[in-house]
Amino acid sequence: MHLPLVDREAGAVLLTCRRLVASAQELRDDFESVSSNSRLEEALALADQTADRTATRLHGKLYGLRGWNHQQLGDDERARTDTETALAECQATGDLHGIRVDSSSLRVGWGGGLRRRAATPKSRGRACPSAGPSPAIRSGPERDGHTVRPRKP
């Protein structure tokens, strides 16, 4: 595992940004997309305050999450704009995972291509009503269209 070296000030900024991202993700999981975007705005502002390369690598993640939030809120134009920005940031920093995720989001398309969950508070861990039961709680010999074979002892 490669851990980048950063100075004390940049490290404090990174830690604060990471905490804001974690909080934003938790809020998004609870369908609190507006509050989540507020946290992401704080993290973007902090990341912009430092010239440290590690902090600037967060931009792709931050814009990508904000794009998902806008999609959840039904603002497809802002969702697409943020996702395109996220993709450009990931390409600029060589973030292959971010490139894959954001490219996929843009390929599927906002505004009908993605199934929206019902915006119910505190529904973390529950399956999307329109998507049927989640694979984690589905029972029977099939899962996601594939036959699940028991392992031999």
Task: Give the pLDDT score at 84.
Answer: 94
Domains and CATH numbers, the chain: 8-115 (1.25.40)
Q: Which residue has the higher pLDDT, 141 or 5?
A: 5
Task: Write out pLDDT tens, residues 13-48.
Answer: 888 999 999 999 999 999 999 999 999 999 999 888
For residue 17 the two structure tokens come to: 């940004």
Q: Which residue has the higher pLDDT, 25 or 127?
A: 25
Task: Give the pLDDT score at 2.
Answer: 55
With a cut of 50, say whether residue 126 has pLDDT above it.
no
pTM for the predicted model, two decimal places: 0.66
Task: Give the pLDDT score at 125.
Answer: 44
